[in-house]
Structure 1
Amino acid sequence: MKSLLPPSAAGSLPKPSWLAEPEKLWSPWKLQGDELIEAKQDALRLALDDQLQAGIEIVSDGEQTRQHFVTTFIEHLDGVDFEKRETVRIRNRYDASVPTVVGAVSRQRPVFVDDAKFLRQQTTKQIKWALPGPMTMIDTLYDSHYKSREKLAWEFAKILNQEARELEAAGVDIIQFDEPAFNVFFDDVNEWGVATLEKAIEGLKCETAVHICYGYGIKANTDWKKTLGSEWRQYEEAFPKLQKSSINLISLECHNSHVPMDLMELIRGKKVMVGAIDVASYAIETPEEVADTLRKALQFVDADKLYPCTNCGMAPLPRHVATAKLRALGAGADIIRRELAA
């Protein structure tokens, strides 16, 4: 029996300090070879245990086996040269040195399937697996082969669909595509972004989700947020198209953001993962603060379609802070469950 308001984490959880340098994106591993494989599995088990103790109902790997939510997937593909790097503007926000697409992109073997099978063996809970979305993938590369954002996105969508089908076969219940780029490239979203996402989920019987956020709590993202004014209406651009799409769940940033709650009306009928935990702050929410965000969301989302969540991944946070935030999320969801039952 599925519980009402099942909480989940949007993406990454901090890695233990013995596995990788804490509070850092793209943190190098501290081990190698078989030791690293074993350590990643240990970290995955710990991340799972933290979620279970916090009352998280839809659990994940916490992205313990990958350095980064986009590049780790791309590293396993053919056609991308990680030695040949160019500087590009990521999501119109900051410059980064990125790998180059030098030929036709393809996937020779599964990327995360073994990790997903391992997670499936550890728990009977529903499990969610995050993959980068096609548009966010092309935004983290320099393309010297296709020379077309759209063409490259369609190629990645086909590859993601191969991976997603194998993840489903491995027992994953929800496959989530991370598309922070949907909050930036509005014309692309409507012209081909949602369509490529539909290609990525083609033929899947498991539930599918898209996570659209304002980014990790890193300086480039928090600085950008300060320029967005008193109302963040970016979701208004993508939501109407997503409402008509086959995607089951839509994940959005809510708590401590300037996103008007009533924008959720635009996706009425969809399941909504409401971000009730701020990942850009070390302040730990109280369960009552989480409950308050969820109460407000219930004006626009039916209770059976509300999925409490974090705003984004928590990899850059100290581990004890992230764990406490997860507990607040679980406890806040519980408050609302009791209110609804009464």
Structure 2
Amino acid sequence: MQTHILGYPRIGSKRELKKACEQYWSGKISGTALEEAGKQIRFQNWKTQQEQGIDLIPVNDFSFYDQVLDMSLTVGAIPERYAALVKNKEISPLDLYFAMARGYQKEGLDITAMEMTKWFDTNYHYLVPEFTVDQSFSNHSSKVVEEFKEAKELGIKAKPVLIGPVTYLWLGKEKTNGFEKIDLIHKLLPVYLEILKELVENGVDWVQFDEPILGLDLNSKEKEAFLMVYKTIRETFPKLKTLLATYFEGLNDNTALALSLPVCALHLDLVRNSEQLDEVLGQIPDNLSISLGLVDGRNIWKNDFEKSLKIIKKASHTLGREKIMIAPSCSLLHVPYDLELESQEDTLLPEIKRWMAFAKQKLKEVTLLQKLSLPNPEKNQLLEYEANKAAIADRKNSGLIHNKAVKQRVEAIAPSDDKRKSEYASRSILQKNFLQLPLLPTTTIGSFPQTGEVRKWRSQYKKGVIDKHTYQNLLIEATESLIRKQEKIGLDVLVHGEYERNDMVEYFGEQLAGFTFSQYGWVQSYGSRCVKPPIIFGDISRPEPITVSWSTYAQSLTKRRVKGMLTGPVTILQWSFVRNDQDRATTCKQIALAIREEVKDLENAGINIIQIDEPAIREGLPLRKSAWENYLNWATQAFRLSSSGVSDATQIHTHMCYSEFNDIMPSIAAMDADVITIECSRSQMELLDVFADFKYPNEIGPGVYDIHSPRVPSQKEMVQLIKKAQDVIPTAKLWVNPDCGLKTRKWEETEKALILMVEAARELREIARVSSDLT
């Protein structure tokens, strides 16, 4: 019985990779120094796994930005617009890589970044591969081969990880008409075979192919591609041990397909879908091993050893121990590094910490499960087992978790609580008369650059270097300065900037009962962007107002409208580590009722435009369509619960980013926000087509420039994007805004972009005015 993991966090235990990447981008360190920083993180990760007793250690799970982007470069899928950079011998492969991720704007070139979207139903973002009808692929496999050789030289029993070819094509996007991306499999597979040949020549034993789309609804071409791909790999490399990894969902109707593939081992996510094991064991061929994904790779709660050992016993009884592998459910990329780093008891109570496990602790859980499944475990292992049972029981019975009043409020929700007083058509007339905004009103999504100075204040305050009064005064000065800057730029609806907030979810969690926090619980969201999800351990309530004082202070400084800025209940849920002892719908309703109180307090304080961000609505969608209806019902109800307690004259906004809305438009409309702002710039307004086809009834703010890139677009480019939007959405219903918050950007590029954005809106207003005069 072997142990293995599917992948490990790669940002460093204290975000060393984030800091190194950002230093490289700003020119403070060389490419060689960045490569060395990456190498040190890889080596430390491998050493940690080896010390914890993991038998097969993954390589090629490390990335400087994103594993899908790595795969695109590995197979030579470089979009045509980067051709000038490829031909320019002065640019390094590393700079080409980052240009594809972040855009490129120098030396007379202005190249947009690749589109970014969510990795299945996680908060991790990947760079979307781009495919054309005449797409070609070529072998650039040095990364995976070199990392395997590095590990081998260190005495690591390494297992290279590759995104499987069928999933890789599924993740991409057709950029020209006339073909289906899956049809490229015959061009792509030979490149994979070349990569495998190099690995075999260097002594590889096991290779892991990540094919999570086996948990989705597949069409006939995709199923045929699976059969062809893995039959060819087996015939070409008959001695190579292949592990096919599925995760995030059960195989369900793809069970027979997965079991028919000629691979050596099949990994199952038994955290997301434990029921699939019985069906798999009932059909499993004699030559197939099973990897049991028992340790939760997406949450931070301790594994229930007693429950996991029963599953191991069942599988071992059917297959024999030699055909069983023990693993986490998916890559540990989605959890923090090491619980041992957490030392501040004022943020993480020892009782709650005792219920948790981060990536390093999950390694130990994997190896302990293997040892405890032996006929005669050692005494110290049995003591660990008893300690685990005690922690599980303690959590279940803890008085910290349950709040009777909160449970009663959820039970008392009435049908009218999630409905506005009037339909949008009536509300919009009241809002236009009351708010008196111009055509194509301009605004931002909420946050403004959190400069080094702002982060320094927060750090000094947390460390006690400055007191609360001094810290608050600094934030007040920054807020007033921002209001003046926005007025000067010419924005129509202002925001207070969110300088007091460390993160859009963490900040709210800090103010709500039922949440706790870590010091070093960072996980990667995209590139160098890391988030520290709050931890929902109990019933949720709002002890006191959260944002009212900041919004009303900002409004007192200006005659222009200031938006109240809140994070929505579904996003708070999705971007937290959520308690697993209660269904997610109930937890979400608890959050919604807390946000509802905040919305009503903002309105009572004179804030009549309130944005409730829900970028995670689409992300939370179950991977199987059969489960969509239930999720969308409670998710949209939670949003309406949070937003429906206000008068018709108060305008409710929501924001969503990096999501495909095609299949859920009725649910987006059912949220009944007066204004929705969405990411559109990287897709060149393609996302708007679905809103037009659906005839979305309310107002829309399509993002007109990409804030995830330092590139500043021209006024002409933004005008063209707004015109594209006008082609499909009535001008009277359009807002003009960036595609997301500006927190991670620098001030110089932010001001330039916003000035150009405002000028673009004014230019189009003038065109509309002249057109109106002429008619």
**Kindly, what percent of the aligned residue pairs are identical?**
22
1:212 aligns with 2:656: yes
1:82 aligns with 2:82: no
Alignment of 1:42-191 (within 5 A): 42-83=477-518, 98-144=533-579, 147-186=582-621, 187=628, 190-191=632-633
> Which segment is superposed worse, 28-37 or 114-123?
28-37
CA distance, structure 2, for counterparts of residue 74 and residue 53 of structure 1? 34
The Cα shift of 1:84 comes to 9.3
The Cα shift of 1:90 comes to 6.9
CA distance, structure 1, for counterparts of residue 635 and residue 666 of structure 2? 13
CA distance, structure 1, for counterparts of residue 578 and residue 441 of structure 2? 40
Alignment of 1:252-267 (within 5 A): 252-257=678-683, 259-265=686-692, 266-267=694-695
Sort the Cα spacing of 1:99 and 1:268 in 2 relative to 1 into closer, same or farther, 3 A: closer
> Which segment is superposed worse, 110-119 or 281-290?
281-290
Structure 1 counterpart of 2:438, one-letter code: S
CA distance, structure 2, for counterparts of residue 180 and residue 35 of structure 1? 34
Mark the runs of 5 or more structure 1 residues left unpaired by the alignment.
215-231
Q: Deviations over 1:237-293 (max 9, x none)?
A: 332222244311111111122643312212532110111121011111222211111
The Cα shift of 1:183 comes to 2.8
CA distance, structure 1, for counterparts of residue 769 and residue 617 of structure 2? 36
Sort the Cα spacing of 1:96 and 1:69 in 2 relative to 1 into closer, same or farther, 3 A: closer
1:307 to 735, 746, 760: 735
CA distance, structure 2, for counterparts of residue 146 and residue 120 of structure 1? 42
Sort the Cα spacing of 1:85 and 1:17 in 2 relative to 1 into closer, same or farther, 3 A: closer
The Cα shift of 1:16 comes to 4.1
1:275 to 672, 682, 703: 703
Sort the Cα spacing of 1:309 and 1:96 in 2 relative to 1 into closer, same or farther, 3 A: closer
Structure 1 contact 87–96 (Cα < 8 Å) conserved: yes
Q: What corresponds to 2:475 in structure 1?
A: 40
Alignment coverage as a number of residue pairs: 318
Of Structure 1 and Structure 2, the greater strand share is in 1
The Cα shift of 1:332 comes to 0.8
Sort the Cα spacing of 1:82 and 1:240 in 2 relative to 1 into closer, same or farther, 3 A: same
> Helix, strand or coil: the match of 1:322?
helix
Structure 2 counterpart of 1:304, one-letter code: A
Q: What corresponds to 1:2 in structure 2?
A: 437
> Which segment is superposed worse, 5-14 or 249-258?
249-258
Of Structure 1 and Structure 2, the greater helix share is in 2
Structure 1 counterpart of 2:634, one-letter code: W
Sort the Cα spacing of 1:238 and 1:47 in 2 relative to 1 into closer, same or farther, 3 A: farther
CA distance, structure 2, for counterparts of residue 89 and residue 39 of structure 1? 29
The Cα shift of 1:172 comes to 1.4
Sort the Cα spacing of 1:261 and 1:29 in 2 relative to 1 into closer, same or farther, 3 A: farther
Instruction: Work out which structure has the larger RCO, using CA pairs closer than 8 Å and 6 or more positions apart in sequence.
Output: 1
Sort the Cα spacing of 1:151 and 1:95 in 2 relative to 1 into closer, same or farther, 3 A: farther
Sort the Cα spacing of 1:84 and 1:10 in 2 relative to 1 into closer, same or farther, 3 A: closer
Sort the Cα spacing of 1:296 and 1:243 in 2 relative to 1 into closer, same or farther, 3 A: same
The Cα shift of 1:43 comes to 1.1
Mark the runs of 5 or more structure 2 residues left unpaired by the alignment.
1-435, 622-627, 771-775
Q: Deviations over 1:208-249 (max 9, x none)?
A: 0110002xxxxxxxxxxxxxxxxx7x1123322222443111
1:248 aligns with 2:690: no
CA distance, structure 1, for counterparts of residue 503 and residue 574 of structure 2? 14
> Which segment is superposed worse, 142-151 or 245-254?
142-151
- Larger Rg over CA atoms: 2
Task: Provide the aligned C-alpha RMSD in A.
Answer: 2.5
Structure 1 counterpart of 2:708, one-letter code: A
CA distance, structure 2, for counterparts of residue 284 and residue 211 of structure 1? 22
CA distance, structure 2, for counterparts of residue 59 and residue 97 of structure 1? 27
Sort the Cα spacing of 1:331 and 1:32 in 2 relative to 1 into closer, same or farther, 3 A: farther
> Which segment is superposed worse, 43-52 or 53-62?
43-52
Sort the Cα spacing of 1:89 and 1:134 in 2 relative to 1 into closer, same or farther, 3 A: farther
> Helix, strand or coil: the match of 1:299?
helix
Sort the Cα spacing of 1:149 and 1:87 in 2 relative to 1 into closer, same or farther, 3 A: farther
Q: What corresponds to 1:236 in structure 2?
A: 662
Structure 1 contact 16–43 (Cα < 8 Å) conserved: no
The Cα shift of 1:102 comes to 2.5
2:724 to 296, 312, 315: 296
Question: Under a length normalisation based on structure 1, what TM-score does the superposition of the two structures give?
Answer: 0.85
Structure 1 contact 288–332 (Cα < 8 Å) conserved: yes
CA distance, structure 2, for counterparts of residue 117 and residue 131 of structure 1? 14
The Cα shift of 1:44 comes to 1.0
Structure 2 counterpart of 1:195, one-letter code: Q
2:751 to 323, 329, 338: 323
Structure 2 counterpart of 1:278, one-letter code: D
The Cα shift of 1:321 comes to 0.9
Question: Under a length normalisation based on structure 2, what TM-score does the superposition of the two structures give?
Answer: 0.39
Structure 1 contact 98–142 (Cα < 8 Å) conserved: yes
Q: What corresponds to 2:111 in structure 1?
A: none
CA distance, structure 2, for counterparts of residue 261 and residue 127 of structure 1? 26
> Helix, strand or coil: the match of 2:616?
helix
CA distance, structure 1, for counterparts of residue 520 and residue 583 of structure 2? 18
Structure 1 contact 243–267 (Cα < 8 Å) conserved: no
> Helix, strand or coil: the match of 1:102?
strand
The Cα shift of 1:166 comes to 0.5
The Cα shift of 1:201 comes to 0.8
Structure 1 contact 189–238 (Cα < 8 Å) conserved: no
CA distance, structure 1, for counterparts of residue 577 and residue 467 of structure 2? 29
Sort the Cα spacing of 1:264 and 1:157 in 2 relative to 1 into closer, same or farther, 3 A: same
